[in-house]
Structure 1
Amino acid sequence: MLRFLIRRTSGAALILLLISAFTFFMYFAIPQDPALLACGKNCTPAALDIIHKNLGLDSPVPVQYWNFLVGIFAGRDFGVGHCAAPCFGVSFRNNQMVWDTMMDRLPTTLSLTFGSLIVFLIVGLGAGMMAARFRGTWLDKMFSGGSLVLSSFQIYFLGPIVLGIFVYSTGILDKPKYVPITEDPAAWFMGLLIPWVVMATIFTANYTRMSRSSMIEQLQEEHVRAAKAKGMSSRYVFYRYAWRGSVIPIVTILGMDIGGLLSGGMVTELTFGLAGFGRLARDSVINKDLPVLMGVMIVSAAFIIICNIVVDALYAVIDPRVRLS
């Protein structure tokens, strides 16, 4: 396991380095001085020179990239102040430290991700297991048909409909907003309830179909049929043997989904007006704000890579037949 983690961590570091280099040098291929964004309308050459020095733009591009990498591990000094490690630079737009900006947005994305994750795992896996256990019955047809219909929906379509019905028309629920859970747990829950339900609706359909098909496949395995032939109860065989084997494909897609959600559910955040990682990424592209864009790209990629490493390591825990060599 240790060798596996070391090998995967080394590969992850190389991938992050390539992503950062590609983003950095592609950005400077744009024929526009990034300092102009911070200079404003009444920009003078003297003011532009000061901004170049304050933001570290007065060095050649390769030197800027090297300074950026050093800053992540050792921190950097800018004309606007010291940036402690991990330092992803200073925003070209508002002269704020990028790491502080990302940490301000991260709680919103974390709350949105794990709240919806709990809902769609409980509902989706539960519905899929029930459909597989009672295969061919009306319950199976109801869950399978419902998941097929829901899987055709998209957040940008379902979100406005739910908002129109429950917020603007009836006023049953308040407009979604993020309130820190440490300040008001009830307001935190109610403010994210609609995004959770909408996201869970989309993901539940996929997990219902996947868990159903995976469970049905496992029920046909030789070891499961042998356990039934020995006289074990159907319920015991279902949960003890079939369920464990059906988890692996679910864990695989779950790792990718969690990484994607943590890296920023842009459509969800824009639909419900939430200021998280996804919205920050969108704004950094529109504003051509390289430090923020670099920070979001690297942290988002790190989320996805870490989730994939954890998923691969869980294979050996779930299925003893899997070995990490």
Structure 2
Amino acid sequence: MLQFFLRRTLGAAVILILISAFTFFLFFSIPQDPALLACGKNCTPDSLKIIHENLGLDKPVPVQYLEFMRGIVMGRDFAVGPCPAPCFGYSFANNQPIFDTILDRFPTTVSLTVGGAAVFLTLGLGAGMLAAWKRGSLIDKSFSSASLVLSSMQIYFLGPVVLGALVYSTNLMDSPKYTAFTENPAAWFVGLLIPWMVMATIFTANYTRMSRSTLIEQLQEEHVRTAKAKGMSGKTVFFRYAWRGSLIPIVTIFGMDLGSLFGGAMITEQTFSLAGIGRLAVDSVIKTDLPMIMGVMLFTATMILFFNVIVDAAYAFIDPRVRLS
């Protein structure tokens, strides 16, 4: 197990270095001087020179990249102030450390992701299992039809519809907002309930279809049919053999979804005006805050790689035929 994690961690580190190099040199491939973006409208040659020196833009690009990577590991000192590790630099928009800004937005994204994932994974797996158990029945057809319709919807469509129905027209619920769980758990729950509902509606449909299809496929496997032939009850065969074997593709997709959501649910946060990492990325693109864009990209890539490692490790616990070696 330890060798597996060390090997995967080393591989993830290499991938992150490649991503950082690509994004960094892409950052300098734009035709406009990055310092002009931080200089503002009333920019003078003297102020532009000062910005170059303060942000280290007066050095060759390879040297800047090496200093950028050293800052992530050891921290850096800028003219505008120190930047402790992991240092992604300073934002052009507000002159604040990028990593500190990401950490300020991270609790909103975590709350949105964890709550939404708990809902759509529970409902999706439950509905898919019931549909597979009652294959061919009215329940199966109803769940399959509903999941097909709901999976074709998008958050930027369903979100405004739900807001209009529950908030603006009827005032049944308040507008979504984030409140720290440690400050007020009830307000935290109520403020994120609508985004969770919308996320659950769309993601539940996908997991219902996936769990149903994988369960039906597992029920046709030889080891499941052998268990039935030995006289085991239908419930034992279903939950002990078929259900466990169907979890691997579900865990794979869930790990990818969870990593992407932890890196920032852009459309969801933008739709419901939640100040998370996803909305931070959108605002950075609008403001052309290139250092912030780089920081968010690297943070998102780290989250996705981290959950991929967790998913690979989970395979061995789900299916004894899988070995981490």
The answer as to whether partners of 1:316 and 1:324 remain within 8 angstroms in 2 is yes
The alpha-carbon deviation at position 37 of structure 1 amounts to: 2.4
Give the TM-score normalised by structure 1: 0.97
Match for residue 229 of structure 1?
229
The alpha-carbon deviation at position 207 of structure 1 amounts to: 0.4
The alpha-carbon deviation at position 51 of structure 1 amounts to: 1.7
Give the TM-score normalised by structure 2: 0.97
- Shifted more, 108-117 versus 42-51: the winner is 42-51
1:261 aligns with 2:261: yes
Within 5 Å, give how 1:101-116 maps onto structure 2: 101-116=101-116
Deviation readout 1:254-279 (Å, 9 max, x if unpaired) = 11111111111111111111111111
Match for residue 171 of structure 2?
171
The alpha-carbon deviation at position 9 of structure 1 amounts to: 1.5
Residues in 2 aligned to 1:273 and 1:98: alpha-carbon distance in whole angstroms: 21
Within 5 Å, give how 1:74-89 maps onto structure 2: 74-89=74-89
The alpha-carbon deviation at position 14 of structure 1 amounts to: 1.2
The answer as to whether partners of 1:252 and 1:311 remain within 8 angstroms in 2 is yes
- Shifted more, 48-57 versus 312-321: the winner is 48-57
- Shifted more, 7-16 versus 189-198: the winner is 7-16
1:207 aligns with 2:212: no
The alpha-carbon deviation at position 287 of structure 1 amounts to: 2.2
The alpha-carbon deviation at position 184 of structure 1 amounts to: 1.1
Match for residue 323 of structure 1?
323
Stretches of structure 1 that go unaligned for 5 or more consecutive residues are: none
The alpha-carbon deviation at position 30 of structure 1 amounts to: 1.1
Match for residue 300 of structure 1?
300
The alpha-carbon deviation at position 80 of structure 1 amounts to: 1.0
Residues in 2 aligned to 1:26 and 1:226: alpha-carbon distance in whole angstroms: 56
The answer as to whether partners of 1:35 and 1:48 remain within 8 angstroms in 2 is yes
Deviation readout 1:57-100 (Å, 9 max, x if unpaired) = 22111111111100001110011111111111111111100011
- Provide the alpha-carbon RMSD of the alignment: 1.2
Stretches of structure 2 that go unaligned for 5 or more consecutive residues are: none
1:158 aligns with 2:158: yes
Deviation readout 1:45-66 (Å, 9 max, x if unpaired) = 2222222222222211111111
Deviation above 3 Å: which 4+ runs of structure 1? none
- SS of aligned partner of 1:179: coil
The alpha-carbon deviation at position 231 of structure 1 amounts to: 2.2
1:65 aligns with 2:65: yes
The alpha-carbon deviation at position 196 of structure 1 amounts to: 0.6
The answer as to whether partners of 1:8 and 1:309 remain within 8 angstroms in 2 is yes
- Shifted more, 155-164 versus 218-227: the winner is 218-227
- SS of aligned partner of 2:246: helix
Paired residue type of 2:76 = R
